[in-house]
């Protein structure tokens, strides 16, 4: 009788230990993104912030941030909270977008869920942003996506490049970028109507590029606020005055 009781107590102790170990393992699991950040075809310098946001329609949540080291490596821990990670495996996947200096550096549809500890593990990802003169080494802390970013070379290499929608007098200025001495420029357009479409089924917007009063280019932009992965894209577009 005493032997059986002692065995039962030992079994109970073992079961409790196993349960505690399983609970600790579940608590220690964490979704992380790690890898190298690329700027064009080179590793990013140290100190560039990599943000991971969860996006669902117009809602965007900051889920984690980290800065690159001197080898361009980053390691972002994703907050283990609903919104950043699905509560259960039955919920739809979570869209995670990598944001670097306002630019969309890549996105991933995560199947991790809080009720499945094995899904909370490190993931290797290699986000990449455009190599844009003038902002390549700029460090910013903000995690918001721009609506769209345009960059390129302008001719003549002076003044500014301006992007508008609509025709005068009903035109709207969406963004302005100074032209550097080497002829390069870049500009951001905020993620808001009328410069960015509210929904993806709306008519595509025409972005008109001006140097002074001269329209030098026209681009159809398909970004929309209800498709977060369409925001923050960097597009190369040269702006040249026509030869006289």
- In 3D space, the residue among 86, 78, 98, 92 whose CA is nearest the CA of residue 29 turns out to be 78
Distance CA 70, CA 43 (A): 9
Q: What is the pLDDT of residue 22?
A: 37
Q: What is the pLDDT of residue 139?
A: 47
* Alpha-helix runs per DSSP H in the chain: 2-28
Q: What is the pLDDT of residue 243?
A: 64
For Cα atoms 130, 99, 141, give the angle at the middle one, nearest 5 degrees: 105
Q: Where in the chain is the domain with CATH 2.60.40.180?
A: 32-129
Q: What is the pLDDT of residue 136?
A: 58
Q: What is the pLDDT of residue 99?
A: 97
pLDDT in tens, 102-148: 999 999 999 999 999 999 999 999 999 999 987 854 545 578 899 99
- Is the Cβ–Cβ distance between 19 and 13 less than 8 Å? no
Q: What is the pLDDT of residue 138?
A: 52
Three-class DSSP category at 187: strand
Q: What is the pLDDT of residue 26?
A: 42
Give the DSSP H or E segment for 165: strand 160-165
CATH of domain 32-129: 2.60.40.180
Q: What is the pLDDT of residue 89?
A: 94
Distance CA 103, CA 51 (A): 10
Kindly list the distances between the CA atom of residue 29 and the CA atoms of 77, 93, 241, in Å, as whole numbers in the listed order. Answer: 11, 18, 57
- Is the Cβ–Cβ distance between 195 and 172 less than 8 Å? yes
The ranges of the chain with pLDDT < 70 are: 1-28, 136-141, 243-244
**Lookup result for tokens 């579940």:** 26
pLDDT in tens, 86-96: 999 999 899 99
- In 3D space, the residue among 179, 181, 122 whose CA is nearest the CA of residue 152 turns out to be 179
Which one-letter DSSP state was computed for residue 146?
Answer: P
Q: What is the pLDDT of residue 16?
A: 41
Chain centroid, CA 95 distance in Å? 10
Q: What is the pLDDT of residue 244?
A: 60
Three-class DSSP category at 49: strand
CATH of domain 148-240: 2.60.40
């Amino acid at each position: 009788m005493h032997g059986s009781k002692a065995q039962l107590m030992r079994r109970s102790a073992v079961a409790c230990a196993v349960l505690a170990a399983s609970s600790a393992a579940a608590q220690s699991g964490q979704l992380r993104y790690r890898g190298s950040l690329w700027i064009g075809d080179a590793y990013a310098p140290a100190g560039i912030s990599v943000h991971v946001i969860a996006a669902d329609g117009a809602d965007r949540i900051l889920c984690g941030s980290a800065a690159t080291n001197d080898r361009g490596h980053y390691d972002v821990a994703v907050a283990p909270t609903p919104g950043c990670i699905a509560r259960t495996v039955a919920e739809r996947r979570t869209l995670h977008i990598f944001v670097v200096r306002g630019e969309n550096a890549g996105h991933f549809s995560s199947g991790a869920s809080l009720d499945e500890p094995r899904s909370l593990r490190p993931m290797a990802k290699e986000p990449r942003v455009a190599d844009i003169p003038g902002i390549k080494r700029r460090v910013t802390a903000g995690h918001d996506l721009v609506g769209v970013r345009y960059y390129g070379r302008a001719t003549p290499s002076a003044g500014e490049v301006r992007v508008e929608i609509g025709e005068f007098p009903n035109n709207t200025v969406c963004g302005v970028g100074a032209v550097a001495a080497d002829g390069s420029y870049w500009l951001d357009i905020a993620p808001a109507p009328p410069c960015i479409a509210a929904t993806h089924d709306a008519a595509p917007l025409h972005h008109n590029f001006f140097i002074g009063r001269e329209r030098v280019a026209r681009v159809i932009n398909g970004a929309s606020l209800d498709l977060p992965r369409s925001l923050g894209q960097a597009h190369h577009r040269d702006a040249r005055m026509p030869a006289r």
